[in-house]
Amino acid sequence: MKELILEVANTMPENVTIDDFLEALFLRIKVENAIDDIENNKVYTSEELKKELL
């Protein structure tokens, strides 16, 4: 996690607000989690989701 925080921090301008930094960090975490889910086949097809919801 520390490495991820540093990576995001290094992409931000020096005058970044804490709100903007946290938004970028949370977005990066969500994207990485989504990629992990896809790679580990933890996703639903549209049809599977319809069956779950109906």
Between CA 29 and CA 6 the distance in angstroms is 13
pLDDT at site 6: 97
pLDDT at site 36: 97
Q: pLDDT of 11-30, one tens digit each?
A: 999 999 999 999 999 999 99
pLDDT at site 11: 97
Instruction: Specify whether the CB–CB gap between 25 and 5 falls below 8 A.
Output: yes
Selection from 47, 50, 26, 30 nearest residue 38 by Cα = 30
Kindly indicate the confidence band of residue 38, based on its pLDDT and cuts at 50, 70 and 90.
very high
Hey, what amino acid is at 39?
E
pLDDT at site 46: 93
Record the pTM. Answer: 0.77
Structure tokens at 49: 């989701």
Residue for token pair 């290094």: 10
| DSSP structure class, residue 41 | T
